[in-house]
Amino acid sequence: MRDVAQWGLYKSFIQRELKEAIPNYREGYSSLELDAGFFRPDSILARDFSVLFAAMQFNDTKQEKVFRWLDLMAGCGIRALRWGLDAVLPISEQKRGLKNLEIWINDADLDRSNLIQRNLQPLSKKGIKLTFKNDFAEVLLARAYIDKCFFNLIDLDCFGSPNSLLQPVLRVLAFDGILMLSSTDGRSTTGHDRLAALRSLAAAARTHPASWEIALRLQLAAVARQAWLLGRGVEPLACFSDGRTFRVFVRFKRHLFHGEENQLGLIARCEICGEQSSQPLLNLKGWKDCSCGIGLARWEISGPLWLGPLQSPPTLSKIQELSNRFSVPIVGRSEKLIDRLRADEGIPVFSWSTHDIASRVPLEAPPSLDLMIKLLNAEGYLAFRSGVVPGHFRTNASLGELLRICEKKLVKGFK
Is residue 313 reached through a cis peptide bond, with omega within 30 degrees of 0 on the bond before it? no
CA separation (Å) from 110 to 60, 115, 133, 317? 36, 10, 10, 40
Binding positions for ligand SAM, 37-66, rule CB under 6 A: 37-39, 43, 47
For the bound state, the minimum distance from the C-beta of residue 130 to ligand SAM, rounded and expressed in Å, comes to 16
Could you tell me the end-to-end alpha-carbon distance of the chain, in angstroms, rounded to an integer? 56
For the bound state, the minimum distance from the C-beta of residue 313 to ligand SAM, rounded and expressed in Å, comes to 26
The sheet that has 264-270: what strands, in order across it? 276-280, 264-270, 299-306
For the bound state, the minimum distance from the C-beta of residue 22 to ligand SAM, rounded and expressed in Å, comes to 13
Contact string (CB under 6 A) for ligand SAM, positions 74-113, x = contact = xx--xx---------------------------xxx----
For the bound state, the minimum distance from the C-beta of residue 75 to ligand SAM, rounded and expressed in Å, comes to 3
- Residues 89 and 322: their CA atoms lie apart, in Å, by 9
Residue of 214, 218, 187 whose CA lies nearest to 276 = 214
Q: Residue 371 — φ and ψ, nearest 5°? A: -65, -45
Question: Pairing relation of β-strands 264-270 and 276-280?
Answer: antiparallel
For the bound state, the minimum distance from the C-beta of residue 295 to ligand SAM, rounded and expressed in Å, comes to 48
Region near ligand SAM per CB under 6 A, out of 68-76, 218-226, 248-256, 301-309? 68-76
Query: Would you say 48 or 213 has its CB closer to ligand SAM?
Result: 48
For the bound state, the minimum distance from the C-beta of residue 42 to ligand SAM, rounded and expressed in Å, comes to 11
- Residues 230 and 233: their CA atoms lie apart, in Å, by 9
Bridge partners for 22 per DSSP: 34
Spatial CB neighbours of 356, under 8 Å, sequence gap ≥ 6: 209, 274
For the bound state, the minimum distance from the C-beta of residue 137 to ligand SAM, rounded and expressed in Å, comes to 4
Query: Would you say 30 or 43 has its CB closer to ligand SAM?
Result: 43
Contact string (CB under 6 A) for ligand SAM, positions 316-355, x = contact = ----------------------------------------
DSSP state of 108: S
Interface with ligand SAM, residue 116, by CB under 6 A: no
Contact string (CB under 6 A) for ligand SAM, positions 206-225, x = contact = --------------------
- Residues 112 and 107: their CA atoms lie apart, in Å, by 8
For the bound state, the minimum distance from the C-beta of residue 148 to ligand SAM, rounded and expressed in Å, comes to 21
**Cβ atoms of 71 and 77 closer than 8 Å:** yes
Residue of 34, 41, 49, 108 whose CA lies nearest to 73 = 108
Contact string (CB under 6 A) for ligand SAM, positions 123-152, x = contact = -------------xx---------------
Query: Would you say 58 or 136 has its CB closer to ligand SAM?
Result: 136
Contact string (CB under 6 A) for ligand SAM, positions 150-169, x = contact = -------xxx----------
**Cβ atoms of 234 and 209 closer than 8 Å:** no
**Cβ atoms of 386 and 349 closer than 8 Å:** no
Interface with ligand SAM, residue 73, by CB under 6 A: yes
For ligand SAM, how many residues bind (rule: CB under 6 A)?
19
Q: Which residues bind ligand SAM (CB under 6 A)?
A: 1, 37-39, 43, 47, 73-75, 78-79, 107-109, 136-137, 157-159
